Amino acid sequence: MKAFAALFAALDGTSSTAAKTAALAEYFRTAPEADRVWTIALLSGRRPRRAASSTELRLWAAEAAGVADWLFEESYAVVGDLAETIALILPPPATAAPPPALSLAMSGLIALTGQPAEARRAAILSAWATLPSTERFLYTKLLTGGFRMGVSQGLMTRALAQATGRPEAEIAHALMGDWEPARTSFAALVERAAEGPDSRPYPFALASALEGGPDGLGAPSDWCAEWKWDGIRGQLVARPGAFALWSRGEELITDRFPEFAPLADFLPAGTVIDGEVLAWDTTTGQPQPFAALQRRIGRKTVPKVLLHEAPARLLAYDLLEAGGQDLRALPLATRRARLEALLAGLPADLPLATSPLLAFSDWAALTAARVTARDHRAEGLMLKRAGSAYVGGRKRGDWWKWKLDPFSVDAVMVYAQAGHGRRANLYTDFTFAVRDGDALVPFAKAYSGLSDAEFAEITAWVQRHTLERFGPVRRVPPELVFEIAFEGIQESPRHKSGIALRFPRMVRWRRDKPAVEIDTIETLRALLAAAGGRLPPAPPEDI
């Protein structure tokens, strides 16, 4: 882990992208080969199953440090990162043999999963006792799950391209899909693009947010517009001997959506479609709210009743491969025409259709259409340049998402909790309430949307106005009013307020507004009725 720890230190010590790329490229040239593969896996979000739960890790660390559980929790609240709390709270490591290679440490962790708690505890305690401090932190970070070290997939791809002399796009494609670090060599991994067809998806093209309207985009005739759906982005890959549905997070979700299986028989071999997976309302011919789809995401096998209640449908918006040929360099208009021709030849009862293009002659007409997005169960518009190639990653200029303005209500802060990671020591996680008669009903938590200066000011206020402490949470007088924006609203029996919000965040601190003037639970119920959200959300999983 020595090389990996040095890489981490180099990445952690700079915010310069060029310096990070250089450090990574150097690592990919010089580190032990198996470690390189593991590093690529970790930086692209491929992590092994957790060998211990966070509860177990807290208990074992507190015990090894001789620190009471409550004191461990107090410390965690200040440090803000479980792995770092553990690394700091344990006694200094005994100097021992040099740390094991990253690949060895990782295979050790993989071997631990499924072992009895006592065996896992012994192995982890022994690692904690012997690893030097940085390695101890990294090892624990790997134990607790995802760890990207501030490196985006794009940055890693660039570094790999530098280290290997291969084009970036080729590397990006090679890293897509399903591969296991423990069974893949570095050479095979970066050269996979040269191999024959498989079920791998193409790197997804991503859209940037369009701020302030489309007037700056030039001639409307250069653009295609579609609804922006609130589903799961997916690539459907049908190649000889392979049929796969990939999520944008490069997770294979084929088995979660068995209704797509018949497509394997109808799509010509060598077809790759980019589109949106939605839960479909067959009576209205519209998507169901995201909450319905969420019920499907959360499970690996789908009970019949769910297949009936929330059937999935793929609305296709792009054709990336046809007849085994990569179409990505062709203009969107051409790809779109071929997509429409392809789907027109398929039986109508398949769960696959094109995502319709919106006809518009000028931006005013499109602006007017956007306002009706919620009627179409969409969250806004997508604008794609008709002449553009399909480029993986977020390339500004060709793909724009123009979302509806969010819902918003004014609410009062009732609880505050210190943030984690970069924001430990600042009170940044707030619980908000609206009025229900004379009472206040907590209905949402939010932790983003304010400036660092505002968080600092609120932190000082919370420290002076704490009414009660529950561990790291402080109850404060209901005085500070915020405008809370959110993307969706659903009924939820699990919440006291009976509702659950999607992506709530603070948009403004309403210093001008006294707490008596905040919105009421009736306001929220009216929004709920208007949004047609009825289904209870299931806890989301990895997608």
Partner 1 sequence: MMAADLLTLTPQGLYCPDGDFHIDPWRPVSRALVTHGHSDHARPGMAAYLTTPQALPVIRHRLGAITAQTLPYDQPLSINGVTVSFHPAGHVPGSAQIRVEHRGEVWVVSGDYKTEPDGLAEPFAPVTCHTFITECTFGLPVFRWRPQMETVAEIARWWAANAAAGKTSLLAAYSFGKAQRLLAALPPLGPILTHGAVEEVNQILRAQGYALPQTTRVTPDITGKTHPGALVLAPPSALATPWARRFEPAEEAMASGWMAVRGIRRRRGLGTGFALSDHADWDGLLAAVRATGAGRVRATHGYTEPFARALRDLGLQADTLQTEFLGDDATGDGA
- Residues near 356 by beta carbon (within 8 Å), at least 6 away in sequence: 226, 227
Show the beta-strand stretches assigned E in 421-477. 427-436, 439-446, 468-470, 473-475
Of residues 89 and 205, the one with the C-beta less far from partner 1 = 89
Token pair recorded at residue 411: 């609410």
Closest to 388 in 3D by CA, of 329, 318, 341: 329
Of residues 62 and 102, the one with the C-beta less far from partner 1 = 62
* Helix intervals (H) in 113-166: 117-130, 133-144, 153-164
**For partner 1, which stretch binds (CB under 8 A), given 67-75, 185-193, 204-212, 371-379?**
67-75
* Helix intervals (H) in 230-319: 263-266, 290-297, 304-309
- Residues near 72 by beta carbon (within 8 Å), at least 6 away in sequence: 58, 61, 62, 65, 85, 89
Q: Does 12 bind partner 1 (CB under 8 A)?
A: yes
Please identify which residue in 85, 355, 417, 492 interacts with partner 1, judged by CB under 8 A. Answer: 85
Residue 379 CB, shortest distance to partner 1, in Å, is 32
Q: Does 61 bind partner 1 (CB under 8 A)?
A: no
Report d(CA 153, CA 171) in Å as an integer.
11
**For partner 1, which stretch binds (CB under 8 A), given 156-164, 183-191, 226-234, 419-427?**
419-427
Please identify which residue in 51, 65, 237, 312 interacts with partner 1, judged by CB under 8 A. Answer: 65
How are beta strands 352-354 and 312-322 bridged, if at all? Answer: parallel
Report d(CA 180, CA 202) in Å as an integer.
18
Of residues 255 and 457, the one with the C-beta less far from partner 1 = 457
Residue 470 CB, shortest distance to partner 1, in Å, is 13
Please identify which residue in 39, 44, 75, 254 interacts with partner 1, judged by CB under 8 A. Answer: 75
Whether 449 and 411 have beta carbons less than 8 Å apart is answered as no
What residues between 461 and 480 interact with partner 1 by CB under 8 A?
463, 469
Residue 139 CB, shortest distance to partner 1, in Å, is 15
Helix (H) / strand (E) element for 485: namely: strand 481-486
Q: Does 14 bind partner 1 (CB under 8 A)?
A: yes
Please identify which residue in 46, 47, 148, 423 interacts with partner 1, judged by CB under 8 A. Answer: 423
Residue 88 CB, shortest distance to partner 1, in Å, is 4
DSSP assignment, residue 398?
A: T
Q: Which amino acid is at 250?
A: E
Residue 14 CB, shortest distance to partner 1, in Å, is 5
Please identify which residue in 92, 212, 347, 437 interacts with partner 1, judged by CB under 8 A. Answer: 92
Please identify which residue in 23, 34, 38, 84 interacts with partner 1, judged by CB under 8 A. Answer: 84
| Residues near partner 1 (CB under 8 A) | 12-15, 65, 67-68, 70-71, 74-75, 78-81, 84-85, 88-89, 92, 420-426, 452, 456, 459, 463, 469
